[in-house]
Structure 1
Amino acid sequence: MDKPVVSPPVSLSVQRWYNQEQVARGNVLFQTNCASCHMPDASGTPDWKKPGADGKYPPPPLNGAAHTWHHPLSVLRRTVQRGGIPLGGTMPSFADILNNKQINDILAWVQTHWSDEIYRVWHERNAQAGKPMQPSKKG
């Protein structure tokens, strides 16, 4: 009787694209520019799916509990740059406040709040969008 072929276990973890220097800078930038709306821990507004009286959506969680991880990095960057008003929210544009490096640092900090599984799925979606991320060697 033939022995079954056993494949080696496949690692589900994916090396993240950012480094700890980016995360540290991103934390400071997030607390300064984003925490007043998205909360210091990126937990957002509890009723983020429900429009307010003004018809606008409140700040969503960025910690993996909402839809942020559904979007490729290019969309996340564009949302920070252009703001959320075109998407039905109230987030202002940060194009005149944050440069691309600072936006990347904030997104790195945000992604530290995502579980390995959420990050893995995001990484696959991001790659399918044509923008695979390489781990950063320098901040």
Structure 2
Amino acid sequence: MSARKVLFSVLGIAVAGLGLIGARPWLAAQISNGDASATTIALGKTLYTKHCAICHGANLEGQRDWKSPLASGRMPAPPHDASGHTWHHPDGVLFRITKEGPATVVGGGYKSDMRGFGNIMSDDDIRAVIAFIKSTWPEQEREYQAEMSRREREKTQ
């Protein structure tokens, strides 16, 4: 078995084990970058700049030392470019984190400085932001993330 297949298997099991896979309404949020129009990506970039860049960086670079807790004990905003872990998550998880906030996805009393944006942006706006972020990733990261999303959809059908 190739290292890539092993990695997909391990990550798929890990995501399922966290309870992030399931027939839930937020899974209707599948974002296929192949289907995202230039208009949608442009809207996503505008919304990202307005709502996300203040923490995640104008160039999706995240906050400095994003893997180390802040003095508050909370984690800094991670990058959304290829150097971060955003592309490790399937569409439904990315949508839910954005809409409801990471604490609702991670559970276990997790505390985050990121709030959910469900009362600020529409579902389509959230999908546009995610489509913009995905449009910046190199092909390998986009393919990996698309595979994670495909697996997520299969598990919920």
TM-score calculated relative to the size of structure 1: 0.79
Structure with larger RCO (C-alpha < 8 A, sep 6+): 1
* Corresponding position: 1:65 with 2:83: yes
- Write out the 4+ residue segments of structure 1 that deviate beyond 6 Å after TM superposition: none
CA shift for structure 1 position 89: 2.5
Residues 37-94 of structure 1: per-residue CA shift (max 9 Å, x gap):
0111111112111111111001000012111111110000000111124444311111
> Which whole-Å CA distance do the structure 1 matches of 2:139 and 2:78 have between them?
20
State the secondary structure of the residue aligned to 2:153. coil
**Equivalent position to 1:99, from 122, 125, 148:** 122
Q: For residue 29 of structure 1, what is the amino acid of its counterpart? A: L
- Once residues 146 and 130 of structure 2 are traced to their aligned partners in structure 1, the CA distance between those partners, rounded to angstroms, is 13
CA–CA separation in structure 2 for the residues paired with 1:15 and 1:42: 17
Residue 102 of structure 2 corresponds to: 84
Q: 2:137 aligns with which of 114, 128, 134?
A: 114
Distance 1:128 1:15, change over 3 A: same
Partners in 2 of 1:91 and 1:39 — Cα distance?
14
- For normalisation by structure 2, the TM-score amounts to 0.70
Letter in 2 for 1:126: S
Contact 2:68 2:75 in 1 (8 A): yes
1:18-45 Cα shifts (integer Å, max 9, x gaps):
1211110001101000010011111111
* RMSD, matched Cα: 1.7
2:46 maps to 28
| Aligned-residue identity in percent | 29
Runs of 5+ consecutive residues of structure 1 not aligned to the other structure: 1-13, 132-139
- Quick one: distance in 2 between partners of 1:59 and 1:85? 13
Give the aligned partner of residue 16 of structure 1: 34
* Ranges in structure 2 where 5+ consecutive residues have no aligned partner: 1-31
Give aligned pairs, total: 118
Highest Rg: 1 or 2?
A: 1
One-letter code aligned to 1:41 = N
Cα distance change on mapping 1:15 and 1:71 into 2, 3 Å: closer
